[in-house]
């Protein structure tokens, strides 16, 4: 973590995740970089419409108001724009009253490398290649998928996570993929008291857990949930792993292979992270969803 951030929760967000830049992106695709740059300059006083991540970012920054004192959450903008074309993005940030003061404009190249330099716990983007490279650098990262719905809860921030290849390593999932469900179940029963290795989102979950500890049990606006395709008896290793990490999960849902979408809607997730595209497709009709392109399910 860079000096000056202390024990803050640090989130990096791309400009296209924060705002709807579809129109200007089409200019870039159809007419090239010079036309795109001129388009952004010509429209820099026009406020951008909200993107997929804006409601989440608002709730994250609102935590600082709830806690008072020194801000505990830092949101950083990472953008492929140049500073010149990015002026429209900062104008929109000011319009929505977002307290985002730090940014990296990479002038057309991938900005993922600055997520590590800033010491970010999480990087959210709409560019799959940027997300993959951030994951390779050991940063929790996800590609945000357009969703039809968003959480209606204004007083709580609810995160939901898949287990294998997201919170945990994909070691168990590799057994399932190569040997099938029966072998997976027997393997997990045999290793029930052996904690799983951490996955790409372990450090982010730990940072959330530390932030939760700054609120009282009755006043905490952050909730976390594990939403996994596992079922008994494969549940025991997961429970013991979280216990070994000394991390609390507020809610755990063991679905035994059922579609996750309706359960995520019932939970009221602000965002759900999963490594498997089919689960992301099920989820996106109900909640904001981030695909985590990590593990064996993304190598086939």
Cα–Cα distance for residue pair 68/66, rounded to 1 Å: 6
Selection from 252, 17, 267, 246 nearest residue 156 by Cα = 267
User: Which residue carries 């000096």 as its tokens?
Assistant: 3
Q: Are 170 and 297 in contact (CB under 8 A)?
A: yes
The answer to whether 250 is a known catalytic residue is no
The contacts of residue 266 (CB under 8 Å, 6+ apart) are: none
> Measured between alpha carbons, how far apart are the two ends of the chain, in Å?
34
Q: Are 229 and 256 in contact (CB under 8 A)?
A: yes
Catalytic one among 129, 155, 162, 219? Answer: 162
Hey, is 145 helix, strand or coil?
A: strand
Cα–Cα distance for residue pair 246/259, rounded to 1 Å: 29
Selection from 99, 197, 53, 198 nearest residue 140 by Cα = 198
- Half-sphere exposure for 255 (CA within 13 Å, toward CB): 17
Residues involved in catalysis: 162
């Amino acid at each position: 973590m860079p000096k000056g951030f202390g024990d803050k929760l640090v989130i990096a967000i791309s400009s296209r995740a924060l705002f709807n830049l579809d129109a200007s992106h089409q200019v870039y695709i159809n007419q090239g970089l010079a036309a795109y740059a001129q388009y952004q300059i010509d429209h820099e006083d026009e406020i951008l419409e909200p993107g997929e991540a804006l409601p989440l970012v608002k709730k994250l920054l609102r935590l600082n108001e709830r806690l008072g004192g020194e801000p505990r959450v830092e949101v950083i903008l990472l953008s492929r724009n140049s500073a010149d074309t990015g002026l429209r993005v900062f104008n929109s940030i000011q319009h929505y009253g977002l307290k985002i003061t730090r940014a990296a404009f990479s002038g057309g190249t991938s900005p993922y490398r600055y997520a590590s330099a800033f010491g970010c716990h999480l990087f959210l983007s709409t560019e799959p290649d940027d997300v993959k490279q951030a994951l390779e650098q050991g940063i929790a990262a996800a590609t945000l998928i357009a969703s039809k719905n968003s959480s209606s809860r204004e007083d709580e921030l609810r995160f939901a996570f898949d287990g294998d290849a997201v919170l945990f390593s994909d070691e168990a999932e590799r057994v399932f993929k190569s040997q099938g469900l029966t072998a997976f179940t027997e393997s997990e029963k045999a290793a029930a008291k052996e904690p799983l290795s951490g996955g790409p989102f372990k450090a982010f979950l730990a940072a959330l857990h530390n932030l939760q500890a700054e609120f009282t049990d009755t006043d905490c606006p952050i909730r976390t949930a594990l939403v996994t395709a596992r079922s008994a008896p494969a549940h025991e290793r997961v429970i013991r792993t979280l216990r070994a990490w000394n991390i609390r999960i507020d809610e755990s849902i063991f679905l035994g292979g059922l579609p996750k979408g309706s359960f995520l809607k019932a939970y009221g997730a602000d965002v759900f992270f999963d490594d498997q595209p089919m689960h992301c497709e099920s989820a996106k009709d109900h909640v904001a969803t981030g695909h985590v392109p990590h593990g064996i399910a993304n190598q086939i």
